[in-house]
Structure 1
């Protein structure tokens, strides 16, 4: 019958309901917590093998990227420097001086140093990437 004539309930009713609910909450039983922990452990263990294989695959790709990075930088940066050199020559006024032929020796020196470093650490790269002793 109370459905047809609802009583007005104020903040005191809500406060009492909240306290009653919070006092009735208890911790789950220990066997339930143990089963939950075992299930979580087994799920994480089954995913670990997949994670480990994916991580090894990612590391191989990253090492290959690091191996090819100097070559990529040479092919990306060198054309940019060449176009910059030609644009600077076009902007420079001529004062009757003879044009210098050839480029800067610094680019060749940097390339030689990079190649020497790669050759000197070649055995280290092979042992890391290809697994040979």
Structure 2
């Protein structure tokens, strides 16, 4: 493993340039570090404020979407029900379904909302 860092051959002026460069380096002055620290702090603070505002806007949009989601699901079920082809022999026999599936989905969604009413209300009210 000596080939990795130590046993170099050649003139001394070729061997020592990296060592001299590393030895001559020093830490940046404290005022420069302080300026970079203040700039970094201000940039991170402004981006955090923007992040918080964006997250609040996203939460409001999510709550609005969740508010209208049952209505959208009912409309989607109604459209799917209306696109279902009606067969003539179902109408003639009377064996066709008189109870649309959209009504069943609506009842299931309403029952789920009623059973989880306290959780839904606690999500909508802000907790300070």
Question: By how many angstroms is 1:67 displaced?
Answer: 0.9
**TM-score for the superposition, normalised by structure 2:** 0.60
RMSD: 3.3
Whose relative contact order is higher, 1 or 2, with alpha carbons under 8 Å and at least 6 apart?
A: 1
The one of 41, 44, 51 aligned to 1:55: 51
1:39 and 1:18, CA in 2 relative to 1: closer, same or farther beyond 3 A?
A: farther
Per the alignment, in what secondary structure is the counterpart of residue 94 of structure 1?
Answer: helix
The question of 1:126 aligning with 2:125 is answered: yes
Question: By how many angstroms is 1:33 displaced?
Answer: 5.5
1:61 and 1:77, CA in 2 relative to 1: closer, same or farther beyond 3 A?
A: same
Equivalent residue number for residue 4 of structure 2: none
Per the alignment, in what secondary structure is the counterpart of residue 101 of structure 1?
Answer: coil
Q: Deviations over 1:11-70 (max 9, x none)?
A: xxxxxx98565344225313x164443233211211233123212212211211221222
1:37 and 1:108, CA in 2 relative to 1: closer, same or farther beyond 3 A?
A: same
For residues 60 and 21 of structure 1, what CA distance do their matches in structure 2 show?
Answer: 56
Gaps of at least 5 residues in structure 2 are 1-12
Equivalent residue number for residue 26 of structure 2: 29
Question: By how many angstroms is 1:72 displaced?
Answer: 4.1
Gaps of at least 5 residues in structure 1 are 1-16
The question of 1:81 aligning with 2:77 is answered: yes
Equivalent residue number for residue 37 of structure 2: 41
The one of 53, 56, 63 aligned to 1:67: 63
1:46 and 1:69, CA in 2 relative to 1: closer, same or farther beyond 3 A?
A: same
**TM-score for the superposition, normalised by structure 1:** 0.58
